[in-house]
Amino acid sequence: MKIERALVGLLNNPVVPAVVAHAPDLVEYIDVIPDRLWYDFEFGEAGGRRFRRVTGAIEELKQCAAGRVLGGHCIGLSLPSAIPLDLAMAEEVALLARELEFQWFSEHLSMFLVAHGSVPNAQAGLGLPVAFDEESFEIIRRKLVILKPMLGCRMLMENTAVFTPVPDSDMSEPQFLNRLYSEADCGTLLDLHNLYVGQQNGVLSSRQYLEEINPACVEEIHIAGGDELAGFYTDSHSGLTPPEVWEWAYEFGPRFENLRAIVFEFHESYFEKLGMQGIVEELERMHQLADRLASRTQSRVA
Ligand SMILES: [Fe+2]
């Protein structure tokens, strides 16, 4: 499928409906986090149901969805974890995917669930890095085989924000993503700000990374801003996109012929700091980027 122009959008959060109402023409796409649309009572509640939906948020999202494209962007499936796929959660995600008509679906190339004491699926509290080796590849590949038909849409995996070197990897992250694309029919959600995080923490060279990844893999881009915590630069989604991230988007973006969407991630707790006008200006810059990438791709095809 040839994509004419990448859609511009936002990661959903409780203030996104207000942004959509304020600037409806600037938001074409919304990345929806299913995990934020339910409460998970994994160990049971009085009614015996595990998932209880946040119905108000879902209804609000359905109103925002009119005339827009939606995709799923999940956190809780924790595909690289060694435990089996959480089928009950996957089914709940699949229900939402059908109801909200997700056009594609992404998960993270990091672990949010880890074994701890007697519990095989303790919440890590943040995304822990994965050793990129054959074992991790097989764990993810097998889960994708189960998950893809349940969701009925294209799957992407997102590169992670890393703060320290990860020992014991046989492949680099781009090599791992290239293999997911060629051997597991799974695209890449390339978070350019996560590359910035790795670079600021001295873990990776973003340019080397961007040279190494197969451009055909990249079907969605995330941009964001972060800040420092305890001597580390973090992916806190607290600010506007840094200039270097924009540079990489303009320099490497024209290679990404399968790019479907460019998404700005901000956390709602920083909405006051960013301001409505700040988010509008970020969206306008993203539209300029999408136009530029579309014109370069078309001129190359011509
Ligand atoms: Fe992201």
Q: Which residues pair with 190 in a beta bridge?
A: 221
Whether the CB-CB separation of 28 and 69 falls below 8 Å is answered with: yes
The Å distance, Cα 66 to ligand 1 centre, comes to 24
Output the CA 302–ligand 1 centroid distance in Å. 33
Q: What's the rounded mean pLDDT across residues 128-155?
A: 95
Distance, in Å, from the CA atom of 201 to the CA atom of 120, rounded to the nearest integer, reads 30
Contacts of 92 (CB under 8 A, 6+ apart): 34, 38, 50, 51
Residue 2 domain-assigned? no
262 C-alpha vs ligand 1 centroid, how far in Å?
11
- Quote the pLDDT of residue 2: 61
Residue 275, domain member (yes or no)? yes
Q: Is residue 53 included in any domain, yes or no?
A: yes
pLDDT > 70: percent of the chain: 95
Task: Tell me if 225 is assigned to some domain.
Answer: yes
Asked if residue 81 has pLDDT above 80, the reply is: yes
pLDDT tens by residue, 182-214? 999 999 999 999 999 999 999 999 999 999 999
pLDDT of residue 181: 98
Beta strands in the chain (DSSP E): 7-11, 29-32, 38-40, 51-53, 69-73, 102-108, 111-116, 119-128, 154-158, 187-191, 218-224, 228-229, 232-233, 261-265
Domain boundaries, position 185: 7-301
Give the pLDDT mean for 122-135: 85
> Considering the domain boundaries, does residue 205 fall inside one?
yes
pLDDT band at 46; cut points 50, 70, 90 = low
* Distance from Cα 13 to the centre of ligand 1, integer Å: 13
Residue 116 is predicted with a pLDDT of 75
Q: Please check whether residue 247 lies inside any domain of the structure.
A: yes
Question: Tens of pLDDT along 87-124?
Answer: 999 999 999 999 999 999 999 999 887 777 777 777 76
What average pLDDT is seen over the chain?
92
CA distances from 143 to 17, 130, 135, 182, 236 (A): 33, 15, 13, 16, 28
At 104 the pLDDT is 97
* pLDDT value of residue 105: 97
298 Cα: distance to centroid of ligand 1 (angstroms): 27
Say how many Å lie between the CA of residue 245 and the centre of ligand 1: 13
pLDDT of res. 111: 86
Say how many CA atoms lie within 13 Å of 204 toward its Cβ: 23
Neighbours of 230 (CB within 10 A): 6
214 in a domain, yes or no? yes
CA of 156 to the centre of ligand 1 (A): 12
The confidence band for 299, taking pLDDT boundaries of 50, 70 and 90, is low
> For residue 1, is it within any domain?
no
> How far is the centre of ligand 1, averaged over its atoms, from the C-alpha of 107 (Å)?
10
Residues with Cβ within 5 Å of ion ligand 1? Answer: 191, 222
Do residues 256 and 213 touch, judged by C-beta distance below 8 A? Answer: no
Above 70 in pLDDT, residue 297? Answer: no
What predicted TM-score, i.e. pTM, was given to this entire model? Answer: 0.94
The number of folded domains in the chain is 1
Give 31's strand partners: 11, 71
Q: How far is the CA of 47 from the centre of ligand 1 (A)?
A: 35
**Tens of pLDDT, residues 61-78:** 999 999 999 999 998 899
List the end-to-end C-alpha distance of the chain, in Å, as a whole number: 17
**CATH code of the domain covering residue 266:** 3.20.20.150
At residue 43 the predicted structure's pLDDT band, cuts being 50, 70 and 90, is low
pLDDT at residue 301, as a whole number? 52
